[in-house]
Amino acid sequence: MILSRPEIQAAVDRGEVKFDPPLEDRQWGEASVDLRLGLDFTKLKKADGLTVSMAQGIGTIAESGLWQQRTLNTQDTFGKRETFVLEPNEFILALTYERIWMPRNLIAMVEGRSTYARVGLSMHQTAPWIQPGWNGQITLEIRNSGPLKIELTPLLDMPCQLTFFQLSSELAEAAAYGSRSGDIFQNQSAALPRG
């Protein structure tokens, strides 16, 4: 069952689903919530002739120095909002501004929004599920497949939405995301796992 706005709001009011900072009124949809773009952007450096193995896990890539991160300020020294310009065919990782806590009886799907898709932006490549027990910011895998440069503005842009699904039964604590040593993205506040 997909939760409607009143059901999502009730779960938030009961403290089952948490958002930090709290959602603004403009973020609520009829059966989803829109999430704001955060301040952190991570990009893979070009490395001609290098082949990496994903079988060894993403941690080895994170430690390799092949990524560079940029954290924007909400305003530059002149008081203007800082933005990130995504070039055509460019791929970046970016975090949502909100940190999310998921209960063990719900699972959520993060999807891009139509407004952004119509100019060629996709918000995730293969990782749409926010698992029961999840705690952290969500990493968006953003690709500009369109022909235009696209300016992304943290806190103003809301490029993705979360839809919530009720599980048929609540997961045991030992089965929820974050309970196993391999759940390396639990409590994430960066796009790549840290040592």
Question: So which residues are the catalytic ones?
Answer: 141
Residue 58, token pair as written in the block: 């993403």
The CA-atom distances, in angstroms, between 125 and each of 122, 139, 152 are 7, 11, 18
Residue 90, token pair as written in the block: 């460019």
Give the C-alpha separation, 188 to 159, whole Å.
19
CB-based burial, 73-111: b 16+ in 10 Å, e otherwise: eeeeeeeeeebbebeeeeebbbbbbbbbebbbebbbebb
